[in-house]
Amino acid sequence: MDPDEILLDAEERMEKAVHVVQNQLQGLRTGRATPGLVDSIRVDCYGSPTPLKQIATISVPEPQQIMIRPFDQGTLNDIAKAIQSSDVGLAPNSDGRVIRLNIPPLSTERRKQLVSRLKDLAEDGRVAIRNVRRDANKHADVALKDKTMSEDIHDQTKESVQNLTKHFEGQINSLVESKEQDIMES
């Protein structure tokens, strides 16, 4: 691989790691109702696990409530079961047409648990980024060994990979800091 390919591949994979962390953070409860809390729940219907947002509309009519209106009323019980078995920690209230999820205020203990979970998710993202860095450096080392890359270019490539790593780890850190503030303030 030439240096540009190595850097482009590393950058794409690091961006994906940041997006994964960002999506996971959306699912963490902050005390306010957001559709992101239930977007990733998978519902067993039509013979396969389907994301909730593909089989229902999710809205927030009040700051402390999420309303889920299925496209097919026959999936209402399946959606309720999926919410109960998920790790969201909310009890679905169904009136036969829609499901309402009331978001209770977070206790101090629960906030601390969420911050702990938040830090675990961030560390997983940083580990993924470091694994991409390791792979990119390995490609650069192989290219140097095969004499398809000079030592100067090899050093520049490794430096650029390190800069990418710092940049994307910084993105994860800023996402986590803002989410932590949301959790502790709300």
Q: What is the pLDDT of residues 47-73, one digit of tens each?
A: 888 888 889 999 988 888 899 999 988
Say whether 64 sits in a helix, a strand or coil. Answer: coil
CATH code assigned at 82 = 3.30.1360.40
Q: Is pLDDT of 129 > 90?
A: yes
Q: What percent of the chain has pLDDT over 90?
A: 43
Phi/psi for 138 (5° steps) reads -65, -40
* Chain centre to alpha carbon of residue 29: 13
pLDDT band, residue 10 (cuts 50/70/90)? very high
CATH code assigned at 147 = 1.10.132.20
* Cα distance between residue 161 and residue 186, in whole Å: 38
Structural domain count, the chain: 2
Place of tokens 């998920």: 86
Q: Quick check: 136 and 6 in contact, CB under 8 A?
A: yes
Element (H, E) at 65: strand 65-70
The predicted structure's pLDDT at residue 186 = 61
* Cα distance between residue 141 and residue 149, in whole Å: 9
Domain that holds residue 181: 3-26+107-185
Domain finish residue from 102, 136, 158:
102
Say whether 96 sits in a helix, a strand or coil. Answer: coil
Cβ count within 10 A of residue 152? 8
Predicted TM-score (pTM) of the model is 0.70
